[in-house]
Amino acid sequence: MKIIVDAMGGDFAPLAPVKGALMAQEKYGVDIVLTGKTEEILKALQQCGCKELPKGMEIANATEVVEICDDPATAFKHKKDSSLTVGLNMLHAGDADGFVSAGSTGALLAGATLLVKRVRGLRRAALAPTIPTAKGKAVLIDCGANAECTVEYLLQFAYLGSYYAQKVLGVENPRIGLLNIGAEESKGDTLRRETYQKLKEAGEAGHFNFTGNIEAKEAMLGECDVIVADGYSGNIMLKSIEGTGKLLSIKLKEMLMHSTGTKLAALLLKGQLGDFKKMLDANEVGGTALLGISKPVVKAHGSASEVGICNAVRQAMEVARSGIIDDIAQNIDKMRIEQKAE
Cα four-point dihedral sign 239, 299, 128, 3: negative
Q: Domain containing 30 — which CATH number?
A: 3.40.718.10
- State the pLDDT at residue 279: 76
Helices (DSSP H) in the chain: which residue ranges?
A: 15-28, 38-47, 75-78, 83-93, 105-111, 151-167, 190-204, 216-220, 231-256, 260-268, 270-280, 282-285, 306-322, 324-330
239-294 per-position pLDDT tens digit: 999 999 889 889 988 998 889 888 888 888 888 888 877 777 777 877 999 999 99
Note whether 278 and 160 are same-domain residues. yes
Check whether residue 107 and residue 220 sit in a common domain. Answer: no
Of 284, 305, 322, which closes a domain?
284
- Asked if 135 and 32 sit in the same domain, the reply is no
27 and 96 assigned to the same domain: yes
225 and 263 housed in the same domain: yes
**Same domain, residue pair 118 and 130:** no
Which of 239, 262, 284 terminates a domain? The answer is 284
CB 160 within 8 A of CB 121: no
List per-residue pLDDT tens for the chain, 342 residues long.
999 999 999 999 999 999 999 999 999 999 999 999 999 999 999 999 999 999 999 999 999 999 888 888 778 778 999 999 999 999 999 999 999 999 999 999 999 999 999 999 999 999 999 999 999 999 999 999 999 999 999 999 999 999 999 999 999 999 999 999 999 999 999 999 999 999 999 999 999 999 999 999 999 999 999 999 999 999 999 999 999 988 988 998 899 888 988 888 888 888 888 887 777 777 787 799 999 999 999 999 999 999 999 999 999 999 999 999 999 999 999 898 865 433
Cα 145 to the chain's mean position, in Å? Answer: 11
In this structure, the answer to whether residues 132 and 250 fall within a common structural domain is: yes
Radius of gyration (Cα) for the chain, nearest Å?
21
62 and 174, same domain (yes or no): no
pLDDT at 340: 46
Which candidate, 96, 72, 334, places its Cα nearest to that of 202?
334
Residue 325 · residue 119 · CB < 8 Å:
yes
Q: Do residues 171 and 150 both lie within one domain?
A: yes
Q: How far apart are the first and last CA of the chain?
A: 50
Q: Are residues 180 and 65 in the same domain?
A: no
Cβ–Cβ under 8 Å, residues 322 and 167: yes
Q: What is the pLDDT of residue 326?
A: 95
Coil, helix or strand at residue 3: strand
Residues 79 and 151 in one domain: no
Residues 279 and 332 in one domain: no
Distance CA 49, CA 42 (A): 11
Overall domain count for the chain: 2
Which of 236, 256, 284 represents a domain boundary (last residue)?
284
Closest CA to 164 of 335, 311, 325: 325
Instruction: Provide the domain limits for residue 267.
Output: 124-284
**Tens digits of residue pLDDT in 294-334:** 999 999 999 999 999 999 999 999 999 999 999 999 999 98
